[in-house]
Amino acid sequence: MAREAGGEPARTADIFDPSAGQVQRRVALGGKAELDQAMQAALAAQPAWAATNPQRRARVMFRYKELIEANMQNLAELLASEHGKVVADAKGDIQRGLEVIEFCCGIPHALKGEYTTGAGPGIDIYTMRLPLGICAGITPFNFPAMIPMWMFGPAIATGNAFILKPSERDPSVPVRLAELMSEAGLPDGILQVLHGDKEMVDAILDHPDIKAVSFVGSSDIAHYVYSRGTAAGKRVQAMGGAKNHGIVMPDADLDQTVNDLCGAAFGSAGERCMALPVVVPVGEDTAERLKAKLIPAIEALRVGVSSDPDAHYGPVITAAHKQKIEGYIQMGVDEGAELLIDGRGFKLQGHGDGFFVGPTLFDRVTTEMTTYKEEIFGPVLQIVRAKTFDEAVELPSAHQYGNGVAIFTRNGNAAREFASRVNVGMVGINVPIPVPVAYHSFGGWKRSGFGDHNQHGMEGVRFWTKVKTVTARWPDGGFDLPRGSEDGGPARLGDSFVIPTMG
Ligand code: NAD
């Protein structure tokens, strides 16, 4: 059974209902003792799981997919109640994770090795892709379903055991996801959820039997996890924060672009690493036309509780985060940006304690401003005006983050040049949030990603496995091969050879 281990009851974290602004439950925070216990179960279970043929492991994924689909509504409501995103967004969060599970249903194909016959006289070479052993994932609050599934799907399908340390701010959906894995037939000890904060993360990074760690969260912590984990000899991939730019060319379809910007900047209250919080119109005329359309569109956005089916977005995760975002808005004013729409002090009727921030729009933001350099992670859109296409390419390229970027244009040549020149990991062409599908891979550059392998797709398979290469020569063993039957018919080597059942 998937295990949820608690910690010393003395250390707990509050889990809020962000729409109400109230604590709804607490989670016990664990540390080394809980990890050691989970590791015993993982170490005992993993060899048999690794030896289970890939087709059988894939069958667990097929059953899991059905269970997630059957539980979509209640998982989405639970997710929305702890995170604050609206239920439709919560379903998207689960769906994008589920697509990685669908990829994992084909894991036998992805694990096929390479083979060369006749690499030398009588020599054949083949590779095996093998699990690493026990692996771990540390996940952020903002995608409590998708990001755990990005990690544990391929890690488990390739034959590893997995310890998941979800965000302590919305840990209930990750626990349910692990319980459903048990229902799907995953053996005990292969997927375990451990709750905690820095103490648990450090225990994971220092544990000698954990071979690989995947992290997604803010950049300073990503860098810390990468440094400490690799120093301990582990394989580490650590995805960090972001500040994605949307370039708007003079020929862009502005109605479509404004619609896309509203979704990408304000959806999920801007708490997405692939949000578009910076828009870069090219030329003054484009900037003015864009601004004229953006203001009414943003003013029409509906902020509501996470269960409101008509709301565009809900509250942010905590009161502290709301305060931080409002602090950035004040900083933008102090730095001299032009505040066109101010979302501070937003109160939703009947939910006065909820952690809501109204949509906010700044114009004339410049590259020297701290509010431009840093990730705000809230419903704040900043207009940075560029004079030329080259300047527009340079802005995201020079920024410390390099997760995603988008260009809005009808000019294929400009789009193509932009995609090849821009120094960012994921590019959208008239696609505001270019999160690659599950069979491609996800990963940003610069301070948005530390390590060599991206998430999911074949990159995920490579991250969670190691390659063994066998070079084989079969010399003449000194016995005669039967090369033909007495009556001159074919050899009967396979007379008693029966193909065994693989499944
Ligand atoms: P966070 O960095 O605060 O937390 C992420 C994880 O690290 C959590 O599990 C948390 O318990 C743990 N943690 C927190 N403090 C720690 C410490 N001092 N030492 C060790 N571990 C610690 O991030 P968050 O606020 O949960 O998530 C939002 C951030 O994640 C944003 O910066 C966002 O851009 C980023 N993010 C990035 C991606 C990506 O793919 N690049 C995806 C989603 C979110």
456 confidence band (pLDDT: 50, 70, 90):
very high
* Residue 498: per-residue pLDDT: 56
CB proximity list for 95: less than 8 A, separation 6 or greater: 72
Pick the CATH number of 12-240+452-467 from 1.10.260.40, 3.40.50.720, 3.40.605.10, 3.40.50.2300: 3.40.605.10
Q: Rounded to the nearest 5°, which phi and psi values hold at 340?
A: -90, -35
* Residue to mutate, 167, 215, 454, ligand 1, most ligand atoms under 8 Å from C-beta: 167
Element at 417 (helix H, strand E): helix 412-421
Chain position carrying tokens 């599950």? 438
201 C-beta closer than 6 A to ligand 1? yes
Element at 163 (helix H, strand E): strand 161-165
487 confidence band (pLDDT: 50, 70, 90):
low
Q: Does the pLDDT at position 152 exceed 60? A: yes
Determine the Cα–Cα distance for residues 320 and 312; give it in Å rounded to an integer: 22
DSSP 196: -
Which tokens sit at 114? 């390479």
Determine the Cα–Cα distance for residues 163 and 143; give it in Å rounded to an integer: 17
Tens-digit pLDDT profile for residues 318-328:
999 999 999 99
Tens-digit pLDDT profile for residues 288-310:
999 999 999 999 999 999 999 99
What integer is the mean pLDDT of 21-31? 97
Chain position carrying tokens 């959906």? 173
* Residue to mutate, 93, 139, 173, 201, ligand 1, most ligand atoms under 8 Å from C-beta: 201
144 C-beta closer than 6 A to ligand 1? no
375 C-beta closer than 6 A to ligand 1? yes
* Residue 503: per-residue pLDDT: 57
Which tokens sit at 153? 């799907």
Tens-digit pLDDT profile for residues 175-203:
999 999 999 999 999 999 999 999 999 99
Ligand 1, atom 23, lies closest to the CA of 217
| Rg of the chain (C-alpha set) | 26
Pick the CATH number of 245-446 from 3.40.309.10, 3.30.465.10, 3.10.20.30, 3.40.47.40: 3.40.309.10
Q: Does the pLDDT at position 142 exceed 80? A: yes
Tens-digit pLDDT profile for residues 216-275:
999 999 999 999 999 999 999 999 999 999 999 999 999 999 999 999 999 999 999 999
Chain position carrying tokens 């578009």? 276
Task: State how beta strands 161-165 and 134-138 pair.
Answer: parallel
Which tokens sit at 128? 């095996």
Average pLDDT in the chain: 94
Determine the Cα–Cα distance for residues 409 and 66; give it in Å rounded to an integer: 40
Residues of the chain with CATH 3.40.309.10: 245-446
455 C-beta closer than 6 A to ligand 1? no
Residues of the chain with CATH 3.40.605.10: 12-240+452-467
